Chains A and B, each alone.
Chain A
Amino acid sequence: MQAHRQMPRLFGRGALALVIGAYTVYTLGPFLWLATMSVRNTGEISADHYAWPNPWRWEQFRVAWVDSDFATYFWNSALVVVTAVAVVTLVGAAAAHALARYRFRGNRVIYGILFSSIIFPPQITLISLYQILVDYNLYNSLLGLTLVYISLQLPLTVYLLEGFFARIPQDLFDAAKMDGYGDIEIFRRIVLPIGMPAIATTLILNFIQLWNEFLFAVVLITDPEKRTLPIGIRAFMGDHFQDIGMIAAGVMISVIPVILAYAFFSEKLIRGMTAGAVK
């Protein structure tokens, strides 16, 4: 039963409403401005940057999509990110399970090593990865990028899942052992199903971080056809530098999937992205 929370007195309540209103405008305003500009052409925008769209030029979206290869960028991002997220979650879950469940010498050392790499600044691996990929002919390839993405998200995945898996009661495992299940079966039949909520939130977190990843993509991909979405948008902005309406349309295209997913899965997204931060 929630305690009765007394609202601040009337003056406080008014000021509070004002602050909240202002902050909401501050947060959502830019996005709404973007939306209005995306359906106006540059001429109209130059005349008045803040006017309401009239007419609504939806064809800008079509032009942006067709002219600028957005489909390609989407596809590249989807391929790389989905593959990387799937692999890193599986590999990370397996490692997390072993670290959480079994006692062996070096358990905490291995966990510490994997976990501590979360703080590595990307530059420490960036330059060498660049050279390594070149050496192995994986430079400028989606496969190379996928491999790098897997390594980027591994520490976080292991950290989040190890914490969750460790909380699964040992009794379940003892019972399974007595029923004759082998270790790998136990992982498949017990840990994965029970750990699904944590795995889902880790999936979401990894997905969003990799979908928006920029630095490694910019360094490791140079072919325009292989660009991922963030690089694609950036290039698009470069190509259409003065064409604000077109840029706005392009940016909207890239943002809409995220917004749609957010509209349906806001709770899961929020929980996924803030996983591990609450102490």
Chain B
Amino acid sequence: MTVQMTSAEAPAARASGAPLASGFSDPRRTSVPVLLVFLLPALLVYAGLTAYPAFRTIYDSFFTIEGLERIPVGLSNYAALLQDETFWVAVRNTFIWSFVAPCLDVATGLLLALALYAGVPFARFLRIAWFTPVLLSYVVVAILWMWIYNYDWGVVNVALRAVGLDGWTRSWLGDPNFALASVIVTHAWKWAGFNMVVCLAAIHSLPSEVLEAAELDNCGWGAKLRHIIVPMLKPTLLNLYVLAFIGKMKVFDLVWIMTGGGPLWATETVSTYVYKRAFNWNTFDLGYPSAIATVWFGVVCAAVILLNKAFKSKDRLEY
């Protein structure tokens, strides 16, 4: 079959650099200049504002940097890191957050989605209403919940006192034993709607005939959930877990505004600690926080890779 080349194609074929004998230009290949036009802006942005700064931070971690002074200190920043109690408290807090909270997030999202899927009235309204906190900025959420947690007149304590549980009232953000949990609850409040919407979409995408077959196989709601719905949702649920995990490893805004990392580092996270050491410390050294950032970067990458390996489903749920 001979291919007639239009006059527009002929130059394109020549320009593409790959001299195919038949003169046919593969639409899936193009010339380097064209590729550059598409890719260069993105690559420049990435190189200049993401890759270079990342490398520079890693590089900086081997220095002590004060203003314009740079003193190479080898690995001493890292050695100091190992001894830094605050750092380890921050790591512990962040890990608690990152591993535990996503379980709650995903479970809540799934349960809420199932409640809507069961066909309650006003399901559309509820879905929109429950999603609202996701859109609010962390600042708004923080202010709202600081008021809710207020010892004297916040919703929580007022409600406890109203039912006579005075003994249970606490300074939710001021008590080192409860501060972390309180902030976690607030964070979950904001994100529950997100997980709910994703789970709901996933449930709706399940083939209805499989669910009907389960009904004919003597499955009530509980059995359908256990044997069919949750197993088939596994990829989505695991994906949500990883997304939540990544998000919590990075958390800064909420903690910073609600507690600033206090009281007594009860809510200190790695993010807040890095910020403090870089911009809020009595010394101006930027090398040490760079070391923290580098270590944390490694930890996050390793954790995500491990999680992905652990969650990789060997069977594709093709349906």
Q: Are A and B associated in one complex?
A: yes
Q: Please, how many angstroms separate the alpha-carbon atoms of A130 and B6 in the complex? A: 53
Q: How large is the interface on B (under 10, 10 to 19, 20 to 34, 35 or more residues)?
A: 35 or more
Which of these binds chain B: A53-61, A64-72, A116-124, A192-200?
A: A116-124
The distance from the CB of A234 to the nearest CB of chain B, in whole angstroms, is 5
Would B134 and A122 count as touching, CB distance under 8 A? no
Would A101 and B28 count as touching, CB distance under 8 A? yes
Would A26 and B189 count as touching, CB distance under 8 A? yes
Would A16 and B50 count as touching, CB distance under 8 A? no
Chain A contacts for B126, CB-based, 8 A: 20, 24
Which residues in window 172-218 of B have CB below 8 A to A?
A: 189, 192-194, 197-198, 201-202, 205, 208, 211-212, 215
Would A234 and B46 count as touching, CB distance under 8 A? no
Q: Which of A3, A8, A244, A270 contacts B147 (CB 8 A)?
A: A244
Q: What residue of chain B has the Cβ atom nearest to residue A92's Cβ?
A: B42
Return 23 A-B CB contacts under 8 Å, by A number: A3-B211, A7-B119, A17-B120, A20-B120, A20-B126, A27-B133, A95-B43, A98-B38, A103-B29, A121-B250, A125-B49, A126-B274, A127-B60, A127-B278, A127-B293, A129-B53, A170-B28, A212-B139, A254-B139, A262-B132, A277-B198, A277-B240, A279-B236
Would B296 and A50 count as touching, CB distance under 8 A? no
Binding site for A on B (CB under 8 A): 6-9, 12, 25-30, 34-35, 37-39, 41-43, 45-46, 48-50, 52-54, 56-58, 60, 112, 115, 117-120, 126-140, 143-145, 147-148, 153, 155, 158, 189, 192-194, 197-198, 201-202, 205, 208, 211-212, 215, 221, 235-236, 239-240, 243, 246, 249-250, 252-253, 256-257, 270-271, 274-275, 278-279, 286, 289-290, 292-294, 296-297, 300-301, 304
Would A180 and B9 count as touching, CB distance under 8 A? yes
Q: Which of A150, A180, A234 contacts B8 (CB 8 A)?
A: A180
A128 at the interface (CB under 8 A from B): yes
Would A129 and B49 count as touching, CB distance under 8 A? yes
The distance from the CB of B202 to the nearest CB of chain A, in whole angstroms, is 5
With contacts A150-B49, A219-B279 taken as known, whether A24 is within 8 angstroms of B39 at the C-beta atoms is no
Q: Which of B26, B42, B112, B131 contacts A158 (CB 8 A)?
A: B42
Q: Which of B54, B236, B257 contacts A128 (CB 8 A)?
A: B54
Would B153 and A49 count as touching, CB distance under 8 A? yes
Q: Please, how many angstroms separate the alpha-carbon atoms of A114 and B47 in the complex? A: 10
Chain B contacts for A219, CB-based, 8 A: 275, 279
Would B147 and A127 count as touching, CB distance under 8 A? no
A78 at the interface (CB under 8 A from B): no
Q: Which of B37, B143, B296 contacts A124 (CB 8 A)?
A: B296
Q: Please, how many angstroms separate the alpha-carbon atoms of A219 and B38 in the complex? A: 32
Q: Please, how many angstroms separate the alpha-carbon atoms of A31 and B153 in the complex? A: 16
Would B27 and A151 count as touching, CB distance under 8 A? no
Chain B contacts for A177, CB-based, 8 A: 9, 25, 27
Q: Which of A19, A30, A148, A183 contacts B49 (CB 8 A)?
A: A148
With contacts A94-B42, A119-B246, A121-B297 taken as known, whether A102 is within 8 angstroms of B201 at the C-beta atoms is no
